[in-house]
């Protein structure tokens, strides 16, 4: 795998340098080079929003900092949780006196470090409440939802929580909206090729040409099955067959559909897949009210596609329509 990097051990450092250079509206924390936030603080007294996670999923996580979205992001090494200290520093950067909502994904390292950081923040007088995303249906059965990973559904959680904060919601209100958003969200992914951590130099998992892994995680975590590759239409059907039994849709239910490429998937293919998903959802009686297509939550140069569905109510629709601006997502007023 040829790459556009300098030192394989410093890809995160070099990326952060590029992000800040390319986006003057974003700024590195003066004390911690693994925390990125908004350069201009939002209004005093509004709730701060924080997330964090391993690098390699760009534009997640740091690409969702901006007006109507997150305030600060703790940046981990590739596919590794940020430190507790970085989460704490992100809380400090995001706090404007109204407390901080930490909206993050369900991974062991992140859970541990966020918990430690929340305690450290409390000792410093900063109130932090959390929502843990667990939208990845294929990662554990319905009866063990607390074991499921957080994946691209986190974007919906950030978008809705961010809108609620921008609309003046209290910490409890922002947490309630973010929790509602992720509770109404399910995701599943199909992997078509593996990816390689630059410093490791070779992939720690493998997908053969002509095969695909259904339900794969963003770091090669095993899914529900390995099969021969099928058409986009059949991928859409397999993915809906995994999501819908877990998350039945009634006729007329309004949904948001988020399709993300995993890194190397051409945008052309993402739109082909979107058309197949929308057609099958509409045939099932659902109404697609919001659509997001693109490389929104990736895994380096992995090939594959993910599908995220959210069942909407009036509050979530208003939150998704609320303006926001960031690298990964812009919604115009």
Residue number, 205 or 271, with CB nearest to a copy of itself: 271
By CB under 8 A, which span of 6-14, 91-99, 133-141, 181-189 interacts with a copy of itself? 6-14
Give me the least distance between CB of 181 and a copy of itself, in Å please.
21
The answer to whether 275 contacts a copy of itself (rule: CB under 8 A) is yes
Mark out the alpha helices in the chain (DSSP H runs). 11-22, 84-94, 108-123, 153-166, 171-183, 232-246, 267-283, 314-321
Residue in the block written with tokens 């006196």: 97
Please list every residue from 45 through 84 that binds a copy of itself, using CB under 8 A. 55-56, 58-59, 63
Give the Cα separation of 302 and 55 in Å (integer).
14
Please list every residue from 191 through 230 that binds a copy of itself, using CB under 8 A. 192-193, 207, 209-212, 229
Instruction: Answer for the pair 320, 312: CB distance below 8 angstroms, yes or no.
Output: yes
Give the Cα separation of 166 and 51 in Å (integer).
16
**Which one of the listed residues 23, 57, 218, 322 is annotated catalytic?**
57
Active site residue 23: no
Give me the least distance between CB of 121 and a copy of itself, in Å please.
29
The answer to whether 147 contacts a copy of itself (rule: CB under 8 A) is no
Interface with a copy of itself (CB under 8 A), residue from 124, 225, 227, 231: 231
Q: In 3D, which of 43, 38, 96 has the Cα closest to residue 70?
A: 38
Please list every residue from 235 through 254 that binds a copy of itself, using CB under 8 A. 235
**Which one of the listed residues 23, 206, 218, 219 is annotated catalytic?**
219
Q: What is the DSSP letter of 83?
A: P
What is the four-CA torsion angle of 130, 135, 139, 141, rounded to 10 degrees? 100
Please list every residue from 282 through 301 that binds a copy of itself, using CB under 8 A. 291, 293, 295, 298, 300-301
- Interior angle at CA 296, CA 130 and CA 138, nearest 5: 65
Q: In 3D, which of 246, 245, 239, 253 has the Cα closest to residue 308?
A: 239
The answer to whether 5 contacts a copy of itself (rule: CB under 8 A) is yes
Residue in the block written with tokens 């303006």: 323
The answer to whether 333 contacts a copy of itself (rule: CB under 8 A) is yes
Instruction: Answer for the pair 303, 216: CB distance below 8 angstroms, yes or no.
Output: no
Active site residue 57: yes
Q: What is the DSSP letter of 298?
A: -
Give me the least distance between CB of 220 and a copy of itself, in Å please.
15
267: left (phi over 0), alpha (psi -120 to 50) or beta: alpha
Interface with a copy of itself (CB under 8 A), residue from 201, 268, 283, 314: 268
Interface with a copy of itself (CB under 8 A), residue from 141, 248, 266, 285: 266
Residues catalogued as catalytic: 57, 219
Q: Which residues bind a copy of itself (CB under 8 A)?
A: 1-6, 11, 14-15, 17-19, 21-23, 55-56, 58-59, 63, 192-193, 207, 209-212, 229, 231-233, 235, 263-276, 278-279, 291, 293, 295, 298, 300-301, 303-305, 325, 330, 332-333
């Amino acid at each position: 795998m040829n790459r556009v990097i300098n030192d394989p051990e410093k890809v995160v450092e070099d990326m952060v340098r590029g992000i800040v250079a390319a986006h003057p509206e974003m700024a590195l924390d003066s004390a911690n080079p693994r925390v990125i936030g908004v350069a201009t603080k939002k209004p005093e007294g509004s709730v701060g929003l924080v997330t964090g996670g391993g690098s390699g999923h760009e534009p997640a996580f740091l690409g969702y900092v901006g007006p109507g979205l997150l305030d600060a992001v703790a940046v981990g090494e590739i596919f590794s949780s940020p430190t507790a200290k970085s989460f704490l520093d992100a809380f400090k950067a995001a706090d404007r006196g109204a407390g901080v909502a930490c909206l993050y994904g369900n991974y062991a390292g992140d859970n541990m470090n966020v918990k430690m950081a929340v305690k450290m923040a409390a000792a410093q007088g900063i109130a932090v409440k959390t929502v843990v995303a667990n939208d990845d249906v294929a990662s554990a059965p319905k009866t063990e939802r607390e074991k499921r990973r957080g994946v691209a559904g986190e974007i919906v959680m950030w978008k809705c929580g961010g809108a609620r904060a921008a609309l003046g919601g209290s910490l409890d209100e922002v947490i309630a909206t973010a929790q509602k958003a992720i509770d109404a969200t399910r995701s599943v992914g199909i992997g078509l090729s593996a990816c390689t951590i630059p410093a490791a130099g070779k992939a720690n998992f493998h997908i053969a040409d002509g095969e695909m892994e259904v339900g794969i995680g963003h770091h090669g975590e095993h899914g529900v099955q390995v099969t021969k590759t099928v058409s986009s239409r059949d991928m859409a059907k397999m993915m809906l067959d995994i999501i819908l039994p877990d998350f039945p849709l009634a006729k007329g239910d309004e949904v948001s559909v988020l399709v993300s490429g995993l890194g190397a998937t051409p945008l052309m293919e993402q739109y082909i897949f979107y058309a197949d998903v929308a057609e099958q959802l509409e045939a099932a009686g659902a109404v697609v009210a919001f659509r997001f297509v693109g490389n929104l939550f990736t895994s380096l140069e992995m090939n594959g596609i993910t599908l995220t569905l959210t069942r909407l109510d009036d509050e979530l629709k208003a939150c998704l329509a609320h303006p926001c601006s960031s690298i990964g997502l812009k919604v115009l007023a």
